[in-house]
Structures are given as C-alpha cells and as structure tokens.
Chain A
Amino acid sequence: METEVIKYDKIEAVKKMFLTSGCAQISDAANTVTTLNPGFAVAGLSNYSGGVKLCGPVYPVNTLNDMLPCLQAVHTAPPGYVVFLNNTAGESEALAGDILVTECKNAGLGGLVVNGAIRDIAAIREIRFPVFAKQVNFISAKTAKVPAEKVPDDVNVFSNTIEVNDWIFGDEDGVYLVKKKYINALLGGVQVVQQREDELKMELSKGGKLGDICGLEDFVAGKSALKFDV
C-alpha cells in the first residue's frame, strides 16, 4: 500500500473509545461542524454482525460483480482495517459469504462493508465479525477474472467519495464515515457528548425529571436557555 498504514495501536485506541459510544454520538459531534464536512452517514446498509461493532480505517476497492478484487482487498488489507467492497454493477451478485468473512476474521481485519450483496447470512452472524451490506443474494458472483485497477482505491458511494484511511464506524444505529483529516477532533467531540449523556442518564436514574434538568419551564417562559445539549 503506497499510502501511510495506520498503526494497529492507533486503531485499537480508536476502537476502545468507540466501544463506549456509538454512531449516534459520532453524528452528534460531527453535525454541528457547519463549515466543514467531517463525515456522513453511509445509508442503506444492513447489519449482519451479530452485535459486534464495526470500527477501523477503510480499505476500499471497486468491483464489477467480480470476486477477484474482493480477494485482492482482503488478502492485502492491513490488520485492523475495514475492507469496503463497492460493486459498480447495477444488480449485485453476492460478493462475500461465510468463507470470505472467516478469512477477514482470521486476518485480523476490523470489518467488511459491502455496497452490494452478500450471502450465508445465518453463518455470518455466527462468526460474530462486523459485516454490513446493502443486499442479500444467494447467487454468488461467478467470475474471478478481472483484477482491480488499484487496491486500495477511492470509491464513490451515494455522491460521496470514500478514500483509504478514512474511518468507518457501524453499530445497530447505522454506519458513519469520518474523513481521515477530522478523526482526532471528532473523537474528542464524541468523548464529551458521551460524558454529557452519561451525566444526564445518571440524573434520570436518581429520579430526576428531564424537563426539570433541562430547565424546560424557564425556557418556555423566556427566562433562560434550554440546558439540553445532548
């Protein structure tokens, strides 16, 4: 890989932070940065991870219903990276099943995201490895003939470009992509958003009422600001 490979220690540190938060908090921390575009939701993907969270730098590749670029990407992606398979075909045959997912897990990858179809869903859930995909199709991609022009390569998904070393996160709420330049600042924001949520939940667990905590009545009466920033 010609571009810089993110150190595994860094990936583990980010993963540790993400385990205590989620895509909702990342979205909260990102969406108020109005002058920049630090990230975006990758819409239309379903979660087949069996409850395991997705987190890691992206290792993207394009394919046209051909297994060969998928094998190339999984074979060359560094540990901790999330392979992102982008099928440019109109109708996707399955680009991954339980065999490829097992290989991903054995290689220590951070996850597999398929903008296209996968299969062997029941077996994949048993593997307990982060897998997100757009569709399910039991018909496997039939060819493994045309190698990828470049691995990793930029991919265009839903009018957004995903580049190697961008970061991708996924959980039960969805999938969120963070541009590499903003990962540090965004993680800082996420920590504070999460802490504020935890404080709020603690007050609720002690019997506090949300409207009182937020100063709802004073706000409605125009006396003060609403203290609700999570």
Chain B
Amino acid sequence: MEEQAFYTELKKFLLARNPELGQINFDENTHLIKTGILDSFAVTELILFIEDLTGNPVQVEGLSVDTIKTLKSIYEFFIKGGD
C-alpha cells in the first residue's frame, strides 16, 4: 500500500475513533502516544483496522510501543515490514 494513502486512512481511523482530534494538527512524525492521540488500549482496534485495510492478517511478533509511536513507524512495521 502506498505510504501517503496509508497515512490518510490511518488519520481517518484515528479521527473517527476520537473526533476531538480534529483540533490537533499531526503528521506522520507526530508522537501519537505522548500527544494522547493513541493509547495502548487502542492497539487491538488499530491492528484490526490495518488488517481490514490491507485484507491480510498482520504479524504481531515484535510489536512494541516504539512500533506504534508515529504513523510512520506504524507504516514501517505493519506495511513495509510485511512486504
């Protein structure tokens, strides 16, 4: 999946999950956890979203807080890492 398209879809997911984020400006390098955009409880939902988006089960071994800290790190772990 193309990187920018992935970021767009992921932002839509995060905004749908938490509409208050509409006030926050964030890009692929924004720290999602420190800014409160994403919490650790939401990771299951995030993975299900990515599986739906790609149509494939994702690999979760080695998943850590670091791999979900930015949109970029999520792309690199789940999409680029799965190529």
**In the bound complex, do residue B64 and residue A33 qualify as a contact, i.e. CB atoms below 8 Å apart?**
no
Q: Which of A84-92, A108-116, A184-192 contacts B (4 or more CB under 8 A)?
A: A184-192
Interface size class of B (residues with CB under 8 A): 20 to 34
Q: Quick one: closest B residue to A185, CB to CB?
A: B47
Closest Cβ–Cβ distance, residue B71 to chain A (whole Å): 16
Closest Cβ–Cβ distance, residue B31 to chain A (whole Å): 12
Q: Quick one: closest A residue to B33, CB to CB?
A: A229
Q: Quick one: closest B residue to A196, CB to CB?
A: B40
Closest Cβ–Cβ distance, residue B55 to chain A (whole Å): 14
Instruction: State in angstroms the CA–CA spacing of A29 and B43 once bound together.
Output: 7
Chain B residues, CB < 8 A from A229: 33, 39-41
Please tell me if B45 contacts chain A, counting CB pairs below 8 Å: yes
Chain B residues, CB < 8 A from A38: 44
Please tell me if A160 contacts chain B, counting CB pairs below 8 Å: no
Q: Quick one: closest B residue to A197, CB to CB?
A: B40
Chain A residues, CB < 8 A from B47: 184-185, 188-189
**In the bound complex, do residue A186 and residue B44 qualify as a contact, i.e. CB atoms below 8 Å apart?**
yes
Main secondary structure of the interface of A (DSSP, over half): helix
Residue of A30, A32, A182, A192 touching B64 (CB-CB under 8 A) = A192
Main secondary structure of the interface of B (DSSP, over half): helix
**In the bound complex, do residue A195 and residue B64 qualify as a contact, i.e. CB atoms below 8 Å apart?**
yes
Binding site for B on A (CB under 8 A): 13, 28-36, 38, 182, 184-189, 191-193, 195-196, 199, 225, 227, 229-230
**In the bound complex, do residue A192 and residue B68 qualify as a contact, i.e. CB atoms below 8 Å apart?**
yes
Please tell me if B57 contacts chain A, counting CB pairs below 8 Å: yes
Please tell me if B42 contacts chain A, counting CB pairs below 8 Å: yes
Chain A residues, CB < 8 A from B57: 184
Q: In the complex, which residues 25-59 of chain B have their Cβ closer than 8 Å to any Cβ of chain A?
A: 33, 36, 39-45, 47-48, 51, 57-58
Closest Cβ–Cβ distance, residue B80 to chain A (whole Å): 17
Closest Cβ–Cβ distance, residue B36 to chain A (whole Å): 4
**In the bound complex, do residue B60 and residue A187 qualify as a contact, i.e. CB atoms below 8 Å apart?**
yes
Closest Cβ–Cβ distance, residue A203 to chain B (whole Å): 14
Chain A residues, CB < 8 A from B45: 32-35, 185, 189
Instruction: State in angstroms the CA–CA spacing of A35 and B47 once bound together.
Output: 14
Closest Cβ–Cβ distance, residue A177 to chain B (whole Å): 15
Closest Cβ–Cβ distance, residue B61 to chain A (whole Å): 7
Given contacts A196-B65, A225-B36, contact A33 B44 (CB under 8 A): yes
